[in-house]
């Protein structure tokens, strides 16, 4: 039995952050039922270019495998009644909407506890359900700017820079999943559910971690560093070799001692200007050019062949293609496959979350409303009830059925 096989989640999710969070729960066996608005064509992620055809996109596949889909119009009384029936038999209601929307559409714990006292209502929003920005939409790029990330990312002589990946969205998804599981544990223990008010803003701010602590307590002012250097540990950064780039990280004094021997510069280890973290930091403008000149004399492979056996933390700066074909990537089964009616075989990266020896199984993302028949059957609806719900607009236009 999969770890979350006995968990059912009703998910009003869209695009990236929300679906990313529930993806890991679905891979662990949770029954994630995506509620898709038939009036909007379902999850907007279905239409994200460049690799999209009709309602199929590789973007959507990346975030929605192992889930089910039901078209449902919650704005109609008939659609609301179906949603409430789903809540009665669910463990959690999950969403990623604007902060003021969960209360407006009635998906908070206070709205649903009469149906299921143990229901966990996890709302991942841009800015949370309280505060002056609660009604604002939240986007990864904007959050990286607001939370100060871009001020410390990029070259010192260049503009503030966004991370190459949507890390606020993805971190927010992980935080939402942790919050939901925490709520589920408490609900099963106590018999009482509640709200998880999770936001991308809170997530981004929390990830400021020790630079924030340094600033709040010692007035530290973070700055962008050349070659992605660590703010206080020297050397811990990217170095350019003759044919590419590598990362060298001396997070402990012993690594520095090994580094200078491995690269043939033992005299640097004896230089009184460089014998401690503090001294290397004070004299980095002298030390780093020496190291840069040394690394520039040979290839990435050459330096890694010396640094690895010497026990110096180091690695190549791969492009995405190399990262996906790294022997360790393949050995850890981090590339998985699903069969798809449009794309044939879809390859994507696996979830890093796991428990126990059983390997996850993977099913492609659902077509819109693909699981209509199974879900209404599980709810115990007969043909007359389904027909009444259709006529009441619960599932959208009749011709939209699959």
So which residues are the catalytic ones? 230
Distance of CA 378 to the CA centre of its chain: 31
The residues that bridge with 28 in the sheet, in sequence order, are none
Exposure on the CB side of residue 115, measured as CA atoms within 13 A = 24
> How far is residue 338's CA from residue 345's CA, in Å, rounded to a whole number?
6
Ramachandran quadrant class, 258 (left: phi over 0; alpha: psi -120 to 50; beta: rest): alpha
3 state SS for 283-311 = CHHHHHHHHHHHHCCCCHHHHHHHHHHHC
Angle between helices 253-262 and 300-310 (to 10 degrees): 130
Strand, helix or coil for residue 359: coil
User: In the structure encoding, which two tokens stand for residue 206, read together?
Assistant: 């929390």
Compute CA distances 146 → 133, 137, 192, 208, whole Å. Answer: 12, 13, 36, 12
Nearest alpha carbon to residue 59 among 71, 68, 70, 47: 47
CB atoms within 10 A of CB 359: 10
Is 302 in contact with 239 (CB distance < 8 Å)? no
Cβ(190)–Cβ(198) below 8 Å: no
Q: In angstroms, rounded to a whole number, what is the distance separating the alpha carbons of residues 51 and 343?
A: 10
CA torsion sign for 176, 84, 39, 41 is: positive
């Amino acid at each position: 039995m999969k770890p979350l096989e006995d968990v059912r989640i009703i998910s009003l999710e869209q695009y990236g952050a929300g679906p990313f969070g529930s993806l890991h729960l679905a891979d662990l066996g949770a029954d994630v039922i995506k509620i898709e608005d038939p009036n909007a064509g379902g999850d907007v992620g279905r239409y994200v270019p460049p690799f999209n055809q009709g309602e199929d996109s590789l973007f959507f596949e990346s975030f929605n495998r192992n889930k089910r889909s039901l078209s449902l119009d919650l704005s109609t009384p008939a659609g609301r009644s179906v949603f409430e029936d789903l809540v009665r038999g669910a463990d959690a209601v999950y969403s990623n909407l604007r902060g003021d929307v969960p209360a407006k559409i009635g998906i908070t714990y206070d709205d649903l506890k009469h149906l299921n006292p143990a229901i966990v209502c996890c709302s991942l929003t841009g800015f949370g359900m309280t505060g002056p920005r609660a009604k604002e939409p939240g986007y990864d790029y904007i959050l990286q700017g607001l939370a100060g990330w871009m001020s410390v990312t990029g070259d010192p002589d260049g503009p503030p820079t966004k991370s190459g990946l949507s890390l606020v969205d993805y971190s927010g998804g992980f935080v939402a999943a942790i919050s939901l599981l925490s709520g589920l544990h408490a609900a099963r223990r106590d018999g009482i559910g509640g709200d998880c008010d999770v936001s991308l803003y809170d997530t981004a701010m929390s990830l400021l971690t020790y630079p924030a602590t340094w600033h709040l307590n010692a007035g530290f002012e973070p700055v962008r560093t050349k070659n992605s250097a660590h703010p206080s540990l020297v050397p811990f950064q990217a170095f350019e070799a003759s044919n590419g780039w590598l990362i060298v990280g001396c997070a402990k004094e012993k690594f520095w001692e090994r580094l200078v021997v491995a690269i043939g510069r033992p005299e640097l280890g004896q230089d009184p200007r460089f014998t401690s973290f503090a001294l290397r930091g004070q004299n980095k403008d002298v030390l780093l050019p020496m190291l840069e000149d040394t690394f520039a004399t040979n290839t990435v492979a050459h330096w890694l062949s010396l640094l690895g056996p010497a026990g110096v933390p180091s690695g190549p700066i791969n492009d995405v293609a190399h990262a996906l074909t790294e022997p360790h990537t393949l050995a850890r089964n981090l590339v998985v496959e699903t069969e798809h009616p449009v794309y044939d075989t879809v390859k994507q990266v696996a979830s890093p979350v796991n428990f126990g020896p059983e390997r996850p199984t993977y099913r492609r993302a659902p077509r819109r409303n693909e699981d209509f028949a199974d879900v209404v059957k599980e709810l115990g609806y007969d043909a007359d009830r389904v027909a009444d719900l259709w006529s009441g607009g619960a599932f959208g236009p009749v011709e939209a059925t699959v």
